[in-house]
Amino acid sequence: MGNQRTRYSAGGDNCPAVLALCAAAVLATVAWRAWRYSERVEVSGLSMAPELQPGDRLVIWRTRAVRAGDVVAAPDPRHPERTVLKRAGAVGPDGVLLLGDNPGQSTDSRHFGRVPVASVRGKAVYRYAPASRAGRLRRT
């Protein structure tokens, strides 16, 4: 009896359950952050053509950390209940210059001036529909 050793488990039997619990916690955190820090919008109008087309559906990441070239969402200064999607032409202490990619079809900062950085709702990061045009949106 003196030569018998007691074997202790390092949790090997519980390992799949622990991994499943950790994966569920990570997925729940990711889902909560996506819900908390993003919103979805649909493009209407041709002001951002050809990059964005009417009917494109975008994910907007809520942030005020925008740089020139980002496509951003902000309230229309003339009709605050309406959201405009424009490219940030310049970002500075005096606000964000919002410009449409298609100037002939765009009402933008050339008409209503710069918007305060604090009013920017976020930047467009992903187009999820239509499926044929889905993908990340790049800064230009």
pLDDT of amino acid 11: 54
Positions in the chain whose pLDDT score sits under 70: 1-3, 6-14, 34-35
Read off the pTM: 0.74
For each of the domains in the chain, give its residue range(s) and CATH number, in order of start.
39-136 (2.10.109.10)
pLDDT of amino acid 102: 95
DSSP secondary structure string for all residues of 88-138: EEEEETTEEEEE-SSGGG--SHHHH--B-GGG--EEEEEEEESGGG-EEPP
- Tokens for 41? 């919008």
Give pLDDT tens digits for 83-101: 999 999 999 999 999 999 9
pLDDT of amino acid 115: 95
- Tokens for 76? 């229309």
Give pLDDT tens digits for 50-63: 999 999 999 999 98
